[in-house]
Amino acid sequence: MDLKSLFGLDGRVALVTGGSRGIGKMIVEGLLAAGCARVYIVARKKEQVDATSAELGDKVIGLVGDLSQMDGIQQLADEIAAREDKLDILVNNAGAAWGEPFDEFSEAGWHRTVDLNLKTPFFLTQKLHGLLKAAATPERPAKVLMIASIDGMKTNPWPTYPYQASKAGLIHLTRRMAAELARENIIVNGIGPGAFPSDMNRAARDNADLVEKGIPSGRIGVTEDMAAGAIYLLSRAGDYVVGTTIPIDGGVVNANIGAGNFVDPSGQ
């Protein structure tokens, strides 16, 4: 048994949405370390896309797009199809969070969060289905990875209602899509991140010492934690794992007894 072939991604072509920063960037770094030939990243802000592409090297190809609308989803799919005849890996990471008091929660916040977190992963995978099928074989399946959240596995004390609901929905969508696509040698799984420092999880970024008190492992996540989980599911090592969302959270979901924890150690 060769560990390099078991966990390697040599020659694969990948697309990571929201790949210019945060958890998306952590996954991109893992894909590169595991041997991907090319990794496309897409985000709304050109300066962030350009900076990350320059930082991570020639194998990273930056694209600018807004995936919250169907026309942006189609434009990205068309751009990838113009550049590649197959796609080995799709990481649906782009997401949004929105918090407002219950009595004041806006429809705009609801739509933006649910659309980007739940609608976009479905329709982007649909639009890229042909390229994924072109890459997929029984010996080397294509892979789709959904980035959910531990907030879809448990409640948190914050008024982020559509965020929590959409991430729970994404976990179930992962199961349903996995059942549909596995017959075509396209394996769908998910990751539920806990506390990783990012612009979305500013508590973990700016107040790590406080957040760590609510995590059984006693620390927030780092790039290697996220990269390793993604590599496992996207490589040969994860071929027989289907429709599963793995929490990568230091034990918050499965080991935290919860008494006295006033800081929510969650994140996307």
pLDDT (mean) for 51-59: 97
pLDDT at residue 60 in the model:
98
pLDDT at residue 264 in the model:
47
User: Does 253 score more than 80 pLDDT?
Assistant: yes
CA distances from 11 to 3, 18, 38, 71, 221 (A): 16, 22, 8, 30, 28
pLDDT at residue 266 in the model:
46
Q: Please give the mean pLDDT across all residues of the chain.
A: 92
User: Does 58 score more than 60 pLDDT?
Assistant: yes
Please state, for a pLDDT cut of 70, what percent of the chain lies above it. 91
Superfamily of domain 3-254: NAD(P)-binding Rossmann-like Domain (3.40.50.720)
For residues 133 and 124, what is the distance between their CA atoms, to the nearest angstrom?
Answer: 14
Pairing of the two strands 142-147 and 89-92: parallel
Q: Which residue's structure tokens are 């790590």? A: 208
Q: Which residue's structure tokens are 């590649």? A: 84
DSSP labels, 243-257? S-EEEESTTHHHH--
Specify the DSSP class assigned to residue 67.
Answer: T
Q: Which residue's structure tokens are 């017959």? A: 183
In which band, very low, low, confident or very high, does the pLDDT at 207 lie, cut at 50, 70 and 90? Answer: low
Radius of gyration over alpha carbons of the chain, in Å? Answer: 18
H or E segment and range at residue 101: none
Q: Which two tokens stand for residue 152?
A: 């879809």
CA distances from 120 to 2, 46, 94 (A): 37, 20, 8
For residues 11 and 34, what is the distance between their CA atoms, to the nearest angstrom?
Answer: 10
Question: Could you say which of 40, 163, 232, 240 is catalytic?
Answer: 163
Reference 96, options 14, 18, 191; nearest CA is 18
User: Does 40 score more than 50 pLDDT?
Assistant: yes
DSSP labels, 155-199? --SSS-HHHHHHHHHHHHHHHHHHHHHGGGTEEEEEEEE-S--SS
For residues 196 and 83, what is the distance between their CA atoms, to the nearest angstrom?
Answer: 33
Is 163 marked active-site?
Answer: yes
Strands (DSSP E) along the chain, which ranges? 13-17, 38-43, 60-64, 89-92, 142-147, 186-193, 245-248
pLDDT at residue 234 in the model:
98
pLDDT at residue 156 in the model:
87
The neighbour count for residue 266, using CB atoms within 10 Å, is 33
pLDDT at residue 205 in the model:
55
In which band, very low, low, confident or very high, does the pLDDT at 262 lie, cut at 50, 70 and 90? Answer: very low
pLDDT at residue 210 in the model:
73
pLDDT (mean) for 144-168: 95
pLDDT at residue 214 in the model:
80
pLDDT at residue 197 in the model:
81
User: Does 263 score more than 50 pLDDT?
Assistant: no
- What is the pTM for the complete model shown? 0.93
pLDDT (mean) for 75-89: 98
